[in-house]
Amino acid sequence: MACAFCNTCRAVIVFIWAALTLLIVHVASATNISIHVAASEIERQALLNSGWWKDRIPHNTSDHCNWVGITCDYKGSITHIELVECSIKGELGSLNFSCFPNLQYLNLWNNNLSGSIPPQIGSLSNLKYLNLRWNNLIGTTPIEIGSLRNLEELYLRSNKLSGVLPQEIGNLKSLIWLSVMYNTVGGPIPSTLFRLTNLERLFLGCNQFNGTIPREIGNLKNLTHLSIITNKLTGAIPSTLGHLTSLLYLDLSFNQLHSFIPLEIGNFSALAELDLSDNKIRGTIPMTLHPMFLDMSFNNLEGEIPTYLRDNPPNSFPSCSQRHRLAPSFILSVKIFLPLTLVLAFTIFGFILLLKGKSENLKLVTGGYDGKILYEDLINATEDFHIRYCIGTGGYGSVYKAELPDGKVVALKKLHQSETEDSAFVESFQNEARVLSTVRHRNIVKLYGFCLHKRCMFFIYEYMERGSLFYVLRDDDEAIELNWTRRVNIVKSVAHALSYLHHDCTPSIVHRDISSNNILLNSNLEAFVADFGTARLLHVDSSNRTLRAGTYGYIAPELAYTMVVTEKCDVYSFGVVALESLSSSSGPKIMLIDILDQRLSPPVNQKIIQDIILVSTTALACLRSKPKSRPTMQRISQELEGKTPMKKGLKEISISEMRNQEMFWLHESDNTQ
C-alpha cells in the first residue's frame, strides 16, 4: 500500500508541476507579446509625431511596417528607415530616435531637414548606417554620436554643421566610411580619428580644419580614399602617409601645406590619383612616384619632371569631385619646365601637348591622351580636313576620323570657318571644352584635347566606331544587332552618366540636349554621352534662366513657358531616349509588347523581360508633365540596378498599367507639391 500511495503522490506532483510550468510559459509568452505590441505602438506613434509620414501612409492600413521607407523585423520592430529625396521638412529632432532600439539603417539623404543633430541619436545602439547628407542641419556634431559603436558608415556631407568633430568619434571602431565634406567644421583634425583602423574612406574636404596633418594618420592602414581638399591645413605632408599602401586616391589640394614632398609617397604602388595642387610645396618631384594621374599645379616646385611622368600621362581627366577651381590650373606647375610663353590660360585640366606646326598655327593643344599629339599629325591624318575623312556634319561643323602615326584613332570635331567668327558658336565651343575638361565618367565621351584659335578650332575625342544611337536604331541591320540586353545596358549607362553630372559635380551640370543623336556607341555597342556645347552649370544662387536649347521632341515641356533650366529637363529627355531605345516607329498601341521594336524577336529570358518592364516604367516616370514629379537621375541610376519589377509577361502589361505603377516610384506624390 505504501508503495502504491507513493506512486500516486508522485504522479500528482508531476501533473501539478507540468500544469504550473505550462501556466508560467503561457503567462510569460502573453507578457512578451504584450511587450512587443507596446514597443511596436511606441515606434508607430513616434513616426506619426514626426509629421514626416503625414501624406505617406497607404490607405486603409495602420500597420506602420507597410509605410513608405519602413522595414521591420519578424517581431514588428523597425530596423530600416529610408526616406530619400522626399522633401521632408522640419527639424531632424522631430523624430524621437530613442523610440527605435532595433534600428540598423537610417537614410534621410537629400531632404529639407533643419535644426541640429539631437543627442538622442546616441541611443541607436544597433545602428550600422547613418546618412544625413544634403540637408540643412546646423550646429555641432553631438558627442553622443560616439555611442554608436556598431556604426559602419556615417555621411554628414553637404550640411551647415560647424564647430569641431568631437573626440568621441574615435569610439566608432567599426566605422569604414566617414564623410563630413561641405560643412564649416573647423579646428584641428581630432587625434582620436586615427584610432579607427577599419576606415577605408575618409572625406574631410571643404571645411575649415586647421593645424597640421597628424603623423598618426599612418595608422589607417586600410584607407583607400583620403580627401582633405580645401581646408586650412599647414605644415609638412607627414612621411607616415607612406604607410597607407592600400591608398587609391589622395587629395590634399587647396590648403597651405609647405616643405617638400616626402619620399615615402613613392610607396603608393596602387595609387591612381594624387592631387597636391594649390599649396606651398617646394622642392622637386620625387623620382619614386609611380605613374598616376598627378596634379601638382600652383606650388613652388622646381627642377625637371621625371621622365616616366612625361611619357606616361593618364588617359582620362579627373572627375568633378565637387571641387571648386578658382583659377586655370595645369597638371604640373609651369615653373618646372615650361616657359610662360607656352601657357594657354583657358586650360582647366589637361596635360600640355607640344606641337610642331607652322608659325601661323596655334602651338599648343591641351589634353590627356599621351602627351605627344602633334598638330602636324592631325593635319596629315586628315589631309588638312579633307572631305574624304569626314564622318558627320551638323550645324556646329564637321567630324573627322584621324589615325595617328602610332595607330591610335581619334575623332576631330572642327568648327566651320564661318562659325569661328560667330560668337555664339565660339561660346558653345568654349563651353564644351570647359565642361569636358572637368569631368570623368566611363559613360561620358573622353576629350583628349582641343585647339582654340580664331583660325582653327577643333576638339580631339575618343573615337566611337558605331556612331550615334540615332543612326543605329534607324538602320534595320544594326538595330537587330542591338539586342534587348544591349538596349537595356545603353539606357543604364546614360542614366549613370546623367546621375554623375547632376549629383557628383558642383555646381551640378545639366546637359540640356540629351537625344539619341548625342548618345555615341563604341565597337562593343556601349553608350557614351557626348556634345556638351549647350551644357549649363547650375548655381544655387542664380535663377538659371536660359534660352531654349536642345532637340525638338526631346525638350521638356516646361521650357516652353518658364525658360528655367533644371536637372529635370535632362530627366525628361532621358525618358524619351529610353523609350526610343526600346520601341519601334509604328503608331500608338495599348500593350507594352505592341510598342517594342518589332524588328527583334520578343524576349523570352525572364531577366531581360523584367529589365524591359523596368526601363519602360522608368521612362514613363521621366515624362511626367510636372518637373518636380519626375525622379532624379541619381534615383533612376540606383533603381535601374536594384529594383525588381512586377512579375508579369509583356503581353499582360498595358501602358496605362505601367503609368500607375507606384511600386516603382513610391515617392511620386512627395515631389508633386
- What confidence tens digit (pLDDT) does each residue in 104-125 have? 999 998 898 999 999 999 999 9
pLDDT of 40 strictly over 70: yes
pLDDT of 394 strictly over 50: yes
Residues 6+ apart with CB under 8 A from 520: 445, 464, 466, 467, 468, 469, 527, 528, 529, 530
What integer pLDDT is reported at residue 378 of this predicted model? 83
What integer pLDDT is reported at residue 267 of this predicted model? 81
Contact 347, 330 (CB under 8 A): yes
Highest-scoring range by mean pLDDT, 287-296, 557-566, 622-631: 622-631
Contact 47, 69 (CB under 8 A): no
Instruction: List the grid coordinates of 434.
Output: 570647359
| Strands of 293-295's sheet in order across | 70-72, 78-82, 105-107, 129-131, 153-155, 177-179, 201-203, 225-227, 249-251, 273-275, 293-295
Give 592 or 316, the one with higher predicted confidence: 592
Residues 6+ apart with CB under 8 A from 87: 111, 112, 670, 671, 673
Instruction: List the grid coordinates of 35.
Output: 511587450
pLDDT of 251 strictly over 80: yes
Identify the weakest region by mean pLDDT among 347-356, 420-429, 462-471, 564-573: 347-356
Contact 651, 620 (CB under 8 A): no
Q: Which tens digit of pLDDT belongs to each residue from 641-650?
A: 766 556 667 7
What integer pLDDT is reported at residue 119 of this predicted model? 95
- 197 band by pLDDT with thresholds 50, 70 and 90: very high
Identify the weakest region by mean pLDDT among 21-35, 437-451, 604-618: 21-35
Contact 468, 521 (CB under 8 A): yes
- 422 band by pLDDT with thresholds 50, 70 and 90: low
d(CA 622, CA 640): 13
What integer pLDDT is reported at residue 293 of this predicted model? 76
What integer pLDDT is reported at residue 325 of this predicted model? 28
Amino acid identity for residue 27 in this structure: V
What integer pLDDT is reported at residue 368 of this predicted model? 42
What integer pLDDT is reported at residue 437 of this predicted model? 75
Q: Which tens digit of pLDDT belongs to each residue from 151-184?
A: 999 999 989 999 999 999 999 999 999 999 889 9
Q: Which residues are catalytic?
A: 513
Q: What's the full length of the chain, in residues? A: 673
Averaged pLDDT for residues 597-601: 86
Q: Which of 594, 509, 458 is nearest to 449 (CA)?
A: 458
Q: Which tens digit of pLDDT belongs to each residue from 129-156?
A: 999 998 999 999 999 999 999 999 999 9
Q: Which of 430, 428, 319 is nearest to 368 (CA)?
A: 319
pLDDT of 284 strictly over 90: no
Q: Which tens digit of pLDDT belongs to each residue from 55-104?
A: 777 665 678 888 888 999 888 899 999 998 788 999 999 999 999 999 99
- 630 band by pLDDT with thresholds 50, 70 and 90: confident
What integer pLDDT is reported at residue 629 of this predicted model? 83
Q: Which of 573, 595, 577, 576 is nearest to 585 (CA)?
A: 595
448 sits in which H/E element: strand 447-453
Residues 6+ apart with CB under 8 A from 115: 90, 91, 92, 93, 137, 138, 139
